[in-house]
Structure 1
Amino acid sequence: MDASWVYVGYENEYNMEYEVLIPFEVNGRRIAQGRDGIGRGNSAITSKNKYPEATMRWLDTWFSPDGMRLLRFGVEGEDWRWRDDGKWEVILAEGETTAQKMSYTSAQPGGQLSWWSDHPVLREWWRKQYSDVKDNYDEMVERLLPYYYIPYPQVTIMEETTRELAEYRTALNTYVNDMMTKFITGEASIEAEWDNYVQQIHQLGVKRLLEIYQEAFDALVD
Structure 2
Amino acid sequence: MKINKWGSLLLAAVMALTPLLSACGKEGSSPGTGSQGGEAQGEAKGEGQDEAGNLNPSGFPIVKEPISLTFFTGKDASNSSKFEETFVWKEYAKMSNIQVNFQLVPFESLTEKRNLALASGDYPDVFYTARLSATDLMKYGSQQEVLIPLNDLIDQYAPNFKKLLDQYPDLRKGLTMPDGNIYSFPTFYSPEFLPMLIGTPLWINKDWLDQLNMQEPQTIEDYYKFLQAVKTTDLNGNGQADEIPYSGSNINVLKYSLQGSWGLGNRGLGHLFVDMDPDQDQLRFFRLDPKYKEVLEFIHKLYVEGLIDPEIFTIKDSAFRAKGAEGNIGSAITTNPVTAFNLDHYIGLGALKGPHGDQLYSHVKSPLVQPGSMAITNKNKYPEATVRWIDYFYSDEGALFYFMGKEGVTYTKKPDGSLEYVEDITDNPNGLTMTQARTKYFTWNGGSYPGFVQAEYFQGAESLPNAIETGKKVEPYVPQEIWNAFNYTEEEAEFMTSVGSDIHTFILETEAKLIAGDTPFSEWDKYVDTVKKMGLDKYMEIEQAAYERYKNN
Is the contact made by 2:348 and 2:466 (CA closer than 8 Å) also made in structure 1? Answer: no
Aligned: 1:58 with 2:389: yes
RMSD value, Cα: 3.4
- Per the alignment, residue 124 of structure 1 pairs with 456
- Residues 155 and 170 (structure 1), Cα distance of their counterparts in 2 relative to 1, 3 Å cut: closer
Give, in angstroms, the shift of residue 10 of structure 1: 5.8
- What do the CA deviations read for 1:59-104 (whole angstroms, capped 9, x no partner)? 4444433333334334444322322332211123144543223344
- What do the CA deviations read for 1:29-86 (whole angstroms, capped 9, x no partner)? 2222234544436223222112334334434444433333334334444322322332
Give, in angstroms, the shift of residue 151 of structure 1: 6.9
Give, in angstroms, the shift of residue 153 of structure 1: 1.8
For 2:359, which of 2, 21, 30 is the aligned residue? 30
Task: Report the residue type matching 1:197 in the other structure.
Answer: Y
Give, in angstroms, the shift of residue 211 of structure 1: 3.3
Distance 1:111 1:4 in 2: 16
- What do the CA deviations read for 1:176-208 (whole angstroms, capped 9, x no partner)? 1232233233333322x2233222212222333
Aligned: 1:112 with 2:448: yes
Is the contact made by 2:350 and 2:470 (CA closer than 8 Å) also made in structure 1? Answer: no
* Greater Cα radius of gyration, structure 1 or 2: 2
Distance 2:340 2:410 in 1: 18
- Per the alignment, residue 175 of structure 1 pairs with 506
Task: Report the residue type matching 2:364 in the other structure.
Answer: G
For 1:79, which of 391, 404, 410 is the aligned residue? 410
Is the contact made by 1:11 and 1:98 (CA closer than 8 Å) also made in structure 2? Answer: no
Q: Kindly, what percent of the aligned residue pairs are identical? A: 25
Give, in angstroms, the shift of residue 171 of structure 1: 0.7
2:374 is paired with a residue whose SS is coil
2:448 is paired with a residue whose SS is coil
Task: Report the residue type matching 1:21 in the other structure.
Answer: L
Higher relative contact order (CA 8 A, sep 6+): 2
- Per the alignment, residue 226 of structure 2 pairs with none
- Give the TM-score taking structure 2 as reference length: 0.33
- Residues 214 and 16 (structure 1), Cα distance of their counterparts in 2 relative to 1, 3 Å cut: farther
1:116 is paired with a residue whose SS is strand
- Structure 1: 5+ residue stretches without partners: none
Distance 1:199 1:59 in 2: 49
Distance 1:184 1:202 in 2: 21
Distance 2:502 2:485 in 1: 21
Distance 2:497 2:542 in 1: 11
2:412 is paired with a residue whose SS is strand
Give, in angstroms, the shift of residue 19 of structure 1: 1.6
- Structure 2: 5+ residue stretches without partners: 1-257, 261-332
- Residues 138 and 183 (structure 1), Cα distance of their counterparts in 2 relative to 1, 3 Å cut: closer
Of residues 163-172 and 208-217 in structure 1, the stretch that sits farther from structure 2 once superposed is 208-217
Distance 1:204 1:29 in 2: 31
- Across the two proteins, how many residue pairs are aligned to each other? 210
1:81 is paired with a residue whose SS is strand
- Give the TM-score taking structure 1 as reference length: 0.73
Q: Which has the higher strand share?
A: 2
2:444 is paired with a residue whose SS is coil
For 1:209, which of 539, 542, 548 is the aligned residue? 539
Is the contact made by 1:80 and 1:90 (CA closer than 8 Å) also made in structure 2? Answer: yes
- Per the alignment, residue 476 of structure 2 pairs with 146
1:124 is paired with a residue whose SS is coil
